[in-house]
Amino acid sequence: MDKFDVLWQSTALAHFTLGQVIMMIVGLLLLYLAIVKKFEPLLLLPIGFGALLTNIPLAGFSEAGGILYYIYEVGIDTGVFPLLIFMGVGAMTDFGALIANPRMLLLGAAAQFGIFATLFGAIALNWVPGFSFTLQDASAIAIIGGADGPTAIFLASKLAPELLGAIAVAAYSYMALVPIIQPPIMKALTTPDERKIEMEQLREVSQREKIIFPIAVLLLTILFLPAATPLVGMFCLGNLMRECGVVERLNKTAQNELINIVTIFLGLAVGSKLSADKFLTVETLGILALGAVAFAIGTATGVLMAKLMGRVSSSKINPLIGAAGVSAVPMAARVVNKVGLEANPHNFLLMHAMGPNVAGVLGSAVAAGVLLALVG
């Protein structure tokens, strides 16, 4: 009988806690969303699997000595993984549409209002019993509104590591939900006539401009916001590798092999933070709610800013493109294109929306820098 007891104690069945079971179900739900619903599968799949692994009793994946523990310490605690991903994103980003029409940067700036308004909202949630967000926590949550996974993870790892799992899951889930969250807001804030507006064709941008651009962005960041240089610097490095045309091999590696490898580990490390004691809290519910609010506000202010610019500017601006200001490249731009086509089947807004879209990436990196400088 003794032997039987020892055997029983060595199975996971004897040690499962309710929390672990629930978190394993959450992990399975993430896998389902990734595989069946195709929601950001590249990230939700490793995150979901990481959640399964980290909640196995007795295996100790996320304790000192376990693989997920080391992956987290090496890659996320240090901030290295999100930065490498950002370099890859830089290598994938074409700033042509933005350089051709630089005023679109204002839309990228306006959409960041979602971040700062949510910061306010997160602190206001403290009135509700059970919530106690510090300014650091609130900043890390608010950056979900930047709709930029690596930026959110980078900031959360610096400001509120204990909330990282929930923040990353919220950020990636909402990025996947952009086609559902954005269109109703876009339609509510624009008239059918405004949605039909066709925009002038963009000018051609020379390779030289594209080469000088990342260097200029970095220079400005160095001068005015050194706190954002880790993010912006890696992003500009990737973009310069893409545009200069002399390091094609590095460019290809940055936007394919390297980013893929890092994505696997980043996802697993984020999944390792989905343990019951950290995730099954009322704060997680708050984070999920605030994230959705942040997205919605960012979309709304982007559209409103585009409307304002359309009124003042001599050239025509379709207010829909403002919604692309919440980075989420290229999903948000595609949504703009789709909503535009519904109103006017001959109106292709994709290229016009790419401008504010990539401006949003810069905008949220700058916003992250501001938060790091003021709150970090």
Partner 1 sequence: MNSEAISSLLLEAATLLGMGMIFVFTFLALLIAAINLIAAFCRKFPGKPSPDGHSKPLKLSHSGSTDQPDGTTLAAISAAVHQYRKQHPLNVKE
Is residue 208 a contact residue for partner 1 (CB under 8 A)? Answer: yes
Query: Rounded to the nearest whole angstrom, what is the least distance from the CB of residue 212 to partner 1 in the complex?
Result: 5
Interface map 357-376 toward partner 1 (x if CB under 8 A): --x--xx--xx--xx--xx-
Rounded to whole angstroms, the Cα distance separating 110 from 375 reads 21
C-beta of 55 vs 151, nearer to partner 1: 151
From 11-19, 53-61, 64-72, 110-118, span contacting partner 1 (CB under 8 A)? 110-118
Query: Rounded to the nearest whole angstrom, what is the least distance from the CB of residue 113 to partner 1 in the complex?
Result: 6
Is residue 127 a contact residue for partner 1 (CB under 8 A)? Answer: yes
Is residue 138 a contact residue for partner 1 (CB under 8 A)? Answer: yes
**CA 222 to chain CA centroid, nearest Å:** 23
Rounded to whole angstroms, the Cα distance separating 97 from 153 reads 27
From 71-79, 108-116, 273-281, 287-295, span contacting partner 1 (CB under 8 A)? 108-116
- Give the Cβ contact number of residue 342 at 10 Å: 13
From 114-122, 180-188, 312-320, 340-348, span contacting partner 1 (CB under 8 A)? 114-122
Rounded to whole angstroms, the Cα distance separating 223 from 40 reads 35
Cis (ω within 30 of 0) for the bond into 319?
A: no
C-beta of 12 vs 220, nearer to partner 1: 220
From 65-73, 126-134, 149-157, 263-271, span contacting partner 1 (CB under 8 A)? 126-134
Q: Which two tokens stand for residue 153?
A: 């993870």
| Residue from 41, 77, 103, 280 binding partner 1 (CB under 8 A) | 103
C-beta of 250 vs 375, nearer to partner 1: 375
Considering only residues 185 through 204, tell me which ones interact with partner 1, judged by CB under 8 A.
204
State the residues that interact with partner 1 by CB under 8 A: 96, 98-99, 102-103, 105-106, 108-109, 112-113, 115-117, 119-120, 122-124, 126-127, 132, 134-135, 138-139, 204-210, 212-213, 216-217, 220, 224-225, 245-246, 248, 359, 362-363, 366-367, 370-371, 374-375
